Amino acid sequence: MYGHVFSRIIQSARCQRFISTDALAKHKADYRRNRKSRHFVDTLLVQVHAGHGGDGCVSFHREKFVQIGPAAGGNGGTGGNVYLRCDPTIHSLARVSKRVAATNGTHGEGDWLHGRSGTDVTIHVPVGTTVRSLGQILNEKSAAAQPYLNYLFSPQARKSLTIDLDETPEIAASRSSVWRHFPRFEEDNYERQHFRAAEEKLLRELRAWSKHKSHVPSVASQSCMTNLEPYEVSDIRADAGWCMDMDLPTPPEDRGILLARGGEGGLGNPHFLLEKYHAPKIATQGMPGESLLLSLEYKQPSDIGLVGLPNAGKSTLLRCLSRADAEVGSYSFTTLSPNFGVMRFGPDGHMFSQDDRNEHEMQRLTVADMPGIIKDASKNKGLGHEFLRHIERCSMLVYVIDFGPTNPRPSSEVLILNRELEQYRPGLIDRVALVVANKADLLGGTHNPYTEEDAREKLLRFRQDVDMIFEPRSVPVIPISAKHQLNIDRMAKHLQSRSVARLRRCLPDVQVALETMFRIAAFRLIHQNGTRPLLRQGLRMVASDATLSSGSGLTKERLGQASPSPKTSVSEKRSKVSERIQQRAQKKAAITLTPTAVEHMRRLMHASDGPKLVRVGVKNKGCAGMSYHLEYVEPGQEGKFDERVKQDDVEVLIDSRALFSIIGSEMDWKEDRMSARFVFNNPNVKDACGCGESFMV
């Protein structure tokens, strides 16, 4: 029975004997490389579908001894929305699904039970993703309802056209996909006179829903219509009306960008009650949700990009500069997707080695190892555009050139790289900060035809060629050996100095942004604590100090040359500003005490055994929900976050949990024939019980 299976196993085993060991090793290496590259996805087409609204219900209330109950159908739930967020913790599009769909709203039920809204779905993309809309898709439900909706929104069509199965079969079929009927009442509803009034009510609801959507438009509503399927898309950079570069992460409190809005839920039959028609046997189905075709293009942002031809030693150099475990091989296209590492620098600007884990780190630079660029890569030869797109997000570029004996004219590689980058995107070659002559250790030596003088002459000629290529700009050339880690520190020091210079150029813009941020914080402080506005001079000093203290871990001495040095230190100016603020702005007390309350509080302090404090709090009890609570507290036993209020020679504690409920209140002492108690004039009270013992804010 299993004879043919055993014969195939024996035959395959015999074939394995004739396969060489080198071929098996190469096959295994290719498999590992391809498997690793599959985890990195930088382009993706995504179909986005929002949820449809639930259908309204046609139902009537049933109750004992009630022969004819009122209309009791509930409305359908709203469909779920689809949002887009930029997440800094992910670095690939591999986890994004090719089809993202939110759930539909549930249908309405009898006894006035409305349907539940659909669950929203969020798409998370990494920082540096370019999101393009390729067009709005007309889904099946939208296509079915569109002819009848066009008929409703056209006054001329409603006046001149009568829907009939024989004359207008398309509109008649579309009308059936919008309305719901009581069983066996569909034809009767269409013929009745009240159906025109029901259509007018539906039209008003649709217009109100369209007005609501116009306030917060979705990406789908701003895109053109398309009939393309994902496999029919030839250009992922085609723009259908909306495009955005996700350069910054989405704030945690923000929902994100609304890609597709869910459909509105259907209306139950109570919505179509008329003065002369108390038992409507008609409802509407849920509106269709929006659908969209998105193009995601990920371009990894980094500080430094290593660019070069295949097999130039870029991955080896990345392993020298960082702890990245990039794959290294003696064949072309070892790197199929960008590899990333982090360069760490100390206070004096020297680069940390891989073993320096406990040193004081002051700056970091992200380094990207780009796949090899070949001739005509800008024309998308091979995987040209797949490799070139990640270079757009690099702040600085470093050319890694093979300077070994096998390359007699290394300047030709520089010309090839310049031509491909300029043809792909003009202006990219302006980011070239350094040219690295790798494999310089292969020149000279006893077993090499190149002598030391020949190597020096070749390096001099190469530097002259580079100066001519980048003229009038000066780009230095540094010879290194990435394999033996020779001259790596000099190269790292040059990159670190270039990053500091770039940061100094950006310092004025950062200072303006920080000054604006501090102005907003001061405005909120004014309204929360009642303080007076901060001085403009003080804001500038605080903003400049914050800028100098947050420059990617750099010391203030390194960035001090970017702005004129003040006559006094920054700390002294900040202390003067704080003193001025304390003198001009008094913090508003949490509560205030009347003279009567101060006098009685003084009596309680002297009457009690030993010095004690009085704490004012709130407890959850009473008719309205909360009531005041006062208690004695021993000195030193007060809560960590309790607020102290000092007035005259009396000190009162405010419980931190009750601070937001009684802030701004006035505490008074009242005596009458029935009672003697503390009373509070609280401006936060919205409602109170009749006896006045409890309140609600």
pLDDT tens string 83-108: 999 998 888 888 888 999 999 999 99
Backbone angles phi, psi at 326, to 5 degrees: -75, 145
Whole-angstrom CA distances from 126 to 99, 239, 292, 305, 315 are 18, 21, 20, 18, 23
Q: pLDDT band at 696, cuts 50/70/90?
A: low
Structural fold of domain 18-298: Spo0b-associated Gtp-binding Protein; Chain: A, (2.70.210)
Give pLDDT, residue 34. 47
Structure tokens at 552: 């990617």
In terms of C-beta density within 10 A (0-12 exposed, 13-18 middle, 19 or more buried), how is residue 663 classed? Answer: middle
Helix residue ranges per DSSP H, 406-487: 411-424, 452-469
**Angstrom distance (rounded) from CA 143 to CA 340:** 47
Q: pLDDT band at 109, cuts 50/70/90?
A: very high
Alpha carbon 225 to chain centroid, angstroms: 27
Backbone angles phi, psi at 641, to 5 degrees: -110, 15
Asked whether residue 72 carries a pLDDT value surpassing 70, the answer given is yes
Q: pLDDT band at 50, cuts 50/70/90?
A: very high
Q: Which residues pair with 627 in a beta bridge?
A: 619
Asked whether residue 445 carries a pLDDT value surpassing 70, the answer given is no
Coil, helix or strand for 109? strand
Q: Which stretch of 16-20, 501-505, 645-649, 671-675 has the lowest confidence by average pLDDT?
A: 16-20
Q: pLDDT band at 33, cuts 50/70/90?
A: very low
**Angstrom distance (rounded) from CA 369 to CA 209:** 51
Coil, helix or strand for 611? coil
Spell out the domain ranges in the chain: 18-298, 304-506, 591-696
**Angstrom distance (rounded) from CA 590 to CA 662:** 8
Q: Which stretch of 291-300, 415-424, 553-562, 636-645 has the lowest confidence by average pLDDT?
A: 553-562
CATH of 591-696, one of 3.10.20.90, 2.60.15.10, 2.60.300.12, 3.50.50.60: 2.60.300.12
Which residue is associated with the tokens 């407890």?
A: 619
Structural fold of domain 304-506: Rossmann fold (3.40.50)
Q: Considering the chain, what percentage of its residues have pLDDT values greater than 70?
A: 75
Asked whether residue 690 carries a pLDDT value surpassing 70, the answer given is no
Q: What is the pairing mode between strands 394-402 and 302-307?
A: parallel
Give pLDDT, residue 449. 64
Whole-angstrom CA distances from 556 to 515, 552, 561 are 18, 11, 9
Contacts of 489 (CB under 8 A, 6+ apart): 350, 351
> Which range, 3-17, 51-65, 481-495, 633-647, has the best average confidence (pLDDT)?
51-65
Give pLDDT, residue 473. 86
Backbone angles phi, psi at 242, to 5 degrees: -150, 135
CA proximity to 574, closest of 538, 537, 534: 538
Q: Which stretch of 58-62, 251-255, 570-574, 624-628 has the lowest confidence by average pLDDT?
A: 570-574
Annotate 417-433 with DSSP letters as a single string: HHHHHHHHSTTGGGGEE
Q: pLDDT band at 552, cuts 50/70/90?
A: very low
Structure tokens at 502: 């770039």
* 463-517 confidence digits (pLDDT tens): 888 888 888 888 888 888 888 888 888 888 888 888 877 777 665 655 555 566 6
Q: Considering the chain, what percentage of its residues have pLDDT values greater than 90?
A: 11
Helix, strand, coil percent content, the chain, rounded in steps of 5: 35, 20, 40
Q: Which residues pair with 681 in a beta bridge?
A: 666
Beta sheet of 627-633, edge-to-edge order: 627-633, 613-619, 650-654, 643-647
CB 349 within 8 A of CB 514: no
Structure tokens at 438: 């790798």
pLDDT average, residue stretch 352-376: 75
More confident residue, 131 or 67: 131
Beta strands in 232-326 (DSSP E): 243-246, 257-260, 282-284, 291-298, 302-307
Query: One-letter amino acid identity for 694?
Result: S
Structure tokens at 414: 């520089």
Which residue is associated with the tokens 């100095």?
A: 497
Give pLDDT, residue 107. 94
Give pLDDT, residue 509. 59
Q: What is the pairing mode between strands 82-87 and 257-260?
A: antiparallel
Annotate 57-94 with DSSP letters as a single string: ---B--BTTBSSPPB-PPPPPPPPPEEEEEETT---ST
More confident residue, 607 or 596: 596
**Angstrom distance (rounded) from CA 40 to CA 55:** 42
Asked whether residue 130 carries a pLDDT value surpassing 70, the answer given is yes
Give pLDDT, residue 48. 94
Give pLDDT, residue 12. 47
Asked whether residue 234 carries a pLDDT value surpassing 80, the answer given is no
Q: pLDDT band at 530, cuts 50/70/90?
A: very low
> Which range, 98-102, 301-305, 506-510, 611-615, has the best average confidence (pLDDT)?
98-102
pLDDT average, residue stretch 594-618: 78
CB 499 within 8 A of CB 303: yes
Give pLDDT, residue 115. 93
pLDDT average, residue stretch 134-144: 88
